[in-house]
Amino acid sequence: MFKNVFGSGFLVRTAHVILTWVITLVLFLYDTDLRRHEESGQLAQPVLFVLLVLVSVLLYFAVSLMDPGFVMSEEGEGKFGLGITEETQDMIPHTSKTFRQRRCGHCLVQQPMRAKHCQACQHCVRRYDHHCPWIENCVGERNHRWFVLYLAVQLVVLLWGLQVAWSGFTPAPGWQQWLSRNGVLLAASSLLALFSMVVLLLLGSHLYLISLNTTTWEFMSRHRISYLKHCGADENPFDRGTLRNLWAFFCVWGSVVWEQMYFTEGSDSV
Which residues make beta-bridge pairs with 102? 111
User: Percent of the chain scored above 90 by pLDDT?
Assistant: 57
Calpha distance 269→243 (Å, rounded): 19
What is the chain's mean pLDDT, rounded?
84
pLDDT of 154 above 50: yes
Task: Categorize the per-residue pLDDT at 77 as very low, low, confident or very high, splitting at 50, 70 and 90.
Answer: very low
Q: What count of other Cβ atoms lies within 10 Å of the Cβ of residue 158? A: 22
Catalytic residue among 118, 132, 138, 231: 132
Q: What is the pLDDT of residues 166-193, one digit of tens each?
A: 999 988 888 888 898 899 999 999 999 9
137 close to 12: Cβ distance less than 8 angstroms? no
pLDDT of 24 above 80: yes
Of 47, 46, 45, 55, nearest in space to 20 by CA: 55
Task: Categorize the per-residue pLDDT at 81 as very low, low, confident or very high, splitting at 50, 70 and 90.
Answer: very low
pTM: 0.84
Distance between alpha carbon 156 and the CA centroid of its chain, in Å? 15
107 included as an active-site residue: no
Task: Categorize the per-residue pLDDT at 7 as very low, low, confident or very high, splitting at 50, 70 and 90.
Answer: low
- Domain layout of the chain by residue ranges: 10-269
